[in-house]
């Protein structure tokens, strides 16, 4: 990429679902945990590996933040969209899809959406030419059929909430429903999705139009029923099998880009949307994901929920390295805007920051030194430099360790925040606020900056945990 001129590289953005910081080889796990990930590790060795990639704490919020470059609360999507909910991505939002479309790209969205279930919230209304192997919700929906019959759900629910695969081949047109996304289809959906992606990569390699593919892979979100070829591949059961299947699919994409002869002009991103599910037991199998050295899991305010895996490969432009500065999932939008030489809309707060020079090694420090974390609609935590500051004490129930997440806040907000030094105390076990009361000032400033933007640009109504039928 020339120093001053925008370029138009192809971009393949692979987003894994709930992959933990402590799951893959290049982050210290993989083979060591009985599930080798040679393809992801090899990709990392050719990429800038982000060792402090920060996200939102669950699927819908983090995907909203990724696509819009904004805190999900600004889009009314800080709570996961549940089957039958009426909410979703607003037509006012400007997404990665819009950005690449404005740059003249061929654009495709693959797989999981989880940003609304109405036609007008679908990807093809946000700059994506096509949506393929799509489904509205999350992969746990693939179990609905089995669960509904097991638990005698009302017939109306069985009909309305069966997740179906969708296809949209016309930009701006609603999708068409296809076959149900049940546990059988779930076994192979990533493989089918990647088969199709490989054809797209091959087709586009001979085109003068660059392409952008955003791929919502479904692994290793539960249920962990791998395809037949990966059953028993790992030493730790279904979860490990599915991580290995994910790794295999990443390898297929890497190979396809190389075989198509476009490796030098293609940015390949591999990232996870949020931390792992650790405590769930699904389909009678223990979930065995790990957040590595960090505390907590998906849905919680702890670091293990919001720090996960990410790497960016751009041969000849981004040097291979491991970097440890803060990079948010919201930073992709402004970074790609810089690469493409496009301006982002100025009529809304954009929380992401351009990280191109940091990723390229042109500056030693990340352009980010703070981050706000919402859990549901609650401003739960503030990150400022190495400090994680919590607005309220948070815990798991002592009688039922599965009660955490949105239900985990003890109903006694502290006047002062709790303060954990994430470098000194990676497992966040020692509140150091008492000796560091000066943290009140940066804490207030980070929140204050956010509140000032909300004053000018009020958030939509806070999302409800239950979207009551009207």
Where along the sequence are the contacts to its own copies (CB under 8 A)?
A: 22, 27-29, 31-35, 51-52, 235-237, 239-240, 286, 288, 290, 292-293, 324, 386, 421, 423-427, 430, 432
CB of 464 to its own copies, least distance (A): 33
Paired tokens of 3: 């120093």
Of residues 158 and 421, the one with the C-beta less far from its own copies: 421
Of residues 169 and 324, the one with the C-beta less far from its own copies: 324
Q: Is 342 helix (H, G, I), strand (E, B) or coil?
A: coil
Of residues 33 and 101, the one with the C-beta less far from its own copies: 33
CB of 424 to its own copies, least distance (A): 4
Q: Is 14 exposed, middle or buried (0-12, 13-18, 19+ CB in 10 A)?
A: buried
Beta bridge partners of 409: 394
CB of 41 to its own copies, least distance (A): 10
Q: How far is 33 from 51, CA to CA, in rounded Å?
A: 19
CB of 10 to its own copies, least distance (A): 31
Of residues 118 and 427, the one with the C-beta less far from its own copies: 427
Question: Is the omega angle on the peptide bond into residue 189 within 30 degrees of 0, that is, cis?
Answer: no
CB of 187 to its own copies, least distance (A): 21
Of residues 51 and 188, the one with the C-beta less far from its own copies: 51
Separation in Å, CA 194 to CA 155, 208, 248: 34, 23, 10
CB of 239 to its own copies, least distance (A): 8
CB of 235 to its own copies, least distance (A): 6
Contact 374, 380 (CB under 8 A): yes
Of residues 199 and 423, the one with the C-beta less far from its own copies: 423
Question: Residues near 55 by Cβ (< 8 Å), separated by ≥ 6?
Answer: 62, 65, 66, 272, 273, 274, 275, 306, 307, 308, 328, 329
CB of 387 to its own copies, least distance (A): 11
Contact 247, 40 (CB under 8 A): yes
Q: How far is 123 from 102, CA to CA, in rounded Å?
A: 15
Sheet holding 387-394, edge to edge: 370-375, 378-384, 387-394, 409-421
Of residues 235 and 258, the one with the C-beta less far from its own copies: 235
CB of 303 to its own copies, least distance (A): 12
CB of 38 to its own copies, least distance (A): 12
Paired tokens of 182: 């049940």
Of residues 290 and 373, the one with the C-beta less far from its own copies: 290
Q: How far is 408 from 394, CA to CA, in rounded Å?
A: 6
Pairing mode, if any, of strands 10-16 and 266-272? parallel
Beta bridge partners of 282: 285
Among residues 285, 289, 255, 284, the alpha carbon closest in space to that of 272 is found at: 289
Q: Is 179 helix (H, G, I), strand (E, B) or coil?
A: strand
Q: Is 26 helix (H, G, I), strand (E, B) or coil?
A: helix
Of residues 429 and 456, the one with the C-beta less far from its own copies: 429
Q: How far is 416 from 438, CA to CA, in rounded Å?
A: 11
Among residues 163, 92, 161, 167, the alpha carbon closest in space to that of 129 is found at: 167
Of residues 385 and 464, the one with the C-beta less far from its own copies: 385
Q: How far is 160 from 178, CA to CA, in rounded Å?
A: 14
CB of 292 to its own copies, least distance (A): 5
Of residues 56 and 428, the one with the C-beta less far from its own copies: 428
Contact 133, 110 (CB under 8 A): yes
């Amino acid at each position: 990429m020339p120093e001053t001129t925008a370029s138009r590289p192809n971009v393949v953005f692979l987003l894994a679902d709930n992959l933990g910081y402590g799951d893959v080889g290049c982050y210290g796990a993989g083979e060591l945990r009985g599930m080798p990930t040679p393809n992801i590790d090899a990709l990392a060795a050719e990429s800038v590996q982000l060792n402090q990639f920060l996200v939102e704490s669950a699927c819908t919020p983090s995907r909203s933040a990724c696509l819009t470059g904004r805190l999900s609360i600004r889009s009314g999507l800080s709570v996961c969209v549940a089957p039958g909910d009426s909410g979703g991505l607003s037509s006012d939002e400007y997404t990665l899809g819009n950005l690449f479309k404005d740059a003249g790209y061929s654009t495709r969205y693959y797989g999981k959406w989880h940003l609304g279930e109405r036609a007008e919230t679908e990807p093809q209304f946000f700059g994506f030419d096509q949506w393929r192997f799509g489904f509205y919700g999350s992969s746990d929906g693939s179990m609905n059929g089995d669960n509904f019959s097991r638990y005698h759900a009302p017939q109306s629910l069985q009909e309305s909430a069966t997740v179906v695969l969708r296809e949209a081949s016309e930009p701006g047109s609603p999708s068409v429903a296809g076959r149900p996304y049940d546990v059988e289809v779930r076994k192979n959906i990533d493989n089918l999705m990647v088969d199709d992606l490989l054809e797209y990569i091959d087709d586009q390699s001979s085109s003068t139009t660059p392409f952008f593919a955003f791929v919502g892979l479904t692994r290793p979100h539960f249920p962990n029923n791998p395809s037949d070829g990966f059953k028993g591949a790992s030493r730790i059961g279904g979860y490990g099998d599915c991580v290995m299947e994910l790794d295999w699919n990443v390898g297929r994409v890497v190979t396809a880009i190389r075989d198509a002869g476009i490796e030098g002009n293609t940015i390949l991103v591999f990232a996870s949307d949020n931390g792992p599910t650790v405590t769930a037991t699904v389909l009678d199998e223990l979930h065995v994901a790990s957040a590595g050295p960090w505390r907590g899991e998906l849905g919680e305010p702890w670091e293990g929920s919001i720090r996960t895996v990410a790497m960016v490969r751009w041969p000849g432009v981004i040097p291979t390295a491991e970097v440890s500065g803060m990079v948010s999932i919201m930073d992709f939008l402004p970074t790609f805007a810089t690469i493409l030489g496009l301006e982002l809309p100025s009529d809304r707060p954009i929380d992401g920051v351009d990280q191109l020079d940091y990723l390229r090694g042109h500056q030693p420090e990340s352009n980010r030194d703070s981050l706000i974390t919402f859990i549901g609609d609650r401003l739960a935590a503030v990150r400022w430099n190495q400090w994680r500051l919590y607005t309220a004490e948070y815990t798991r129930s002592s009688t039922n360790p599965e009660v955490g997440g949105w239900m985990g806040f003890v109903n006694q907000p502290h006047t002062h925040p709790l303060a954990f030094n994430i470098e000194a105390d990676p497992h966040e076990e020692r509140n150091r606020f008492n000796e560091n009361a000066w943290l009140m000032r940066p804490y207030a400033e980070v929140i204050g900056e956010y509140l000032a933007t909300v004053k000018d640009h009020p958030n939509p109504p806070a999302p409800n945990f239950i979207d009551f039928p009207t």
